[in-house]
Amino acid sequence: FGLRHDQLPSTFDGFYPLVHPEDRARTAGIANEALRGGTDYENQFRIVRPDGVIRTVHNQARVDRDESGRPVRIIGVCQDITERKLAEEQVRASQERFRMMVENVRDYAIYILDMNGYVTSWNLGAERIEGYRAEEIIGRHYSCFFPPDHAARGDPGMQLQFASVQGRYESEGWRVRKNGSQFWAHVIVTPLLDETGKSRGFSEITHDITERKRAEEDLHSYADRLKITSRRLVEVQEAERRLLARELHDRVGQNLTALGINLSIVAGGLPAGSKPELAGRLEECSALLEGTVDAMRNVMAELRPHALDDYGLPAALRSLATGFSRRTGIQVAFEGDVPGADLPKPVDLAMFRIAQEALNNVAKHSNAKRVEIAIRRANGLATLSVRDNGVGFDPKRIERSNREAGWGLLIMRERAEAVGAQFSLKAGLRTGVQVLVEYHVSSGGVR
pLDDT tens, residue order, the chain (447 aa): 888 888 888 787 888 899 999 999 998 888 888 888 777 888 999 999 999 999 999 999 988 888 888 888 888 888 999 998 887 887 776 666 656 655 666 788 989 999 999 999 988 889 999 999 999 999 999 999 999 999 999 999 999 999 999 999 999 999 999 999 999 999 999 999 888 888 899 999 999 999 999 999 988 888 788 777 777 777 787 778 778 877 776 778 788 888 888 888 887 777 766 667 777 888 888 888 888 887 887 777 677 777 787 888 898 899 899 989 988 999 999 998 765 556 888 888 899 989 999 998 899 888 899 999 999 988 889 999 999 998 887 666 654 445 555 677 888 888 898 888 999 998 877 778 999 999 998 765 544
Residue 29 to residue 44: CA distance in whole angstroms: 13
- Provide the CA 24 distance to its chain's centre, in angstroms: 65
Q: Would you state the pLDDT for residue 22?
A: 94
Residue 439 to residue 446: CA distance in whole angstroms: 6
Collapsed DSSP state (helix, strand, coil) of residue 193: strand
Burial of 187 (0-12, 13-18, 19+ CB in 10 A): middle
Residue 336 to residue 184: CA distance in whole angstroms: 53
Q: Would you state the pLDDT for residue 23?
A: 92
Question: Which of 77, 82, 37, 39 lies closest to 60 in space, CA to CA?
Answer: 77
Q: Would you state the pLDDT for residue 64?
A: 87
Q: Would you state the pLDDT for residue 447?
A: 46
**Cα torsion at 368, 370, 371, 372 (round to 10°)?**
-150
Question: Which of 188, 185, 177, 187 lies closest to 210 in space, CA to CA?
Answer: 185
Amino acid at 122: W
Query: What is the DSSP secondary structure assignment for residue 366, as one 8-state letter?
Result: I
Using the CB atoms, write b or e for 208-243: b if 16+ within 10 Å. beeeebeeeeeeeeeeeeeeeebeeebeeeeeebee
Q: Would you state the pLDDT for residue 411?
A: 81
Using the CB atoms, write b or e for 270-308: b if 16+ within 10 Å. eeeeeeeeeeeebeebeeeeeeebeebeeebbebbbebb
Q: Are 422 and 412 in contact (CB under 8 A)?
A: no
Residue 65 to residue 11: CA distance in whole angstroms: 16
Greatest CA separation found in the chain? 168
Query: What is the DSSP secondary structure assignment for residue 40, as one 8-state letter?
Result: E
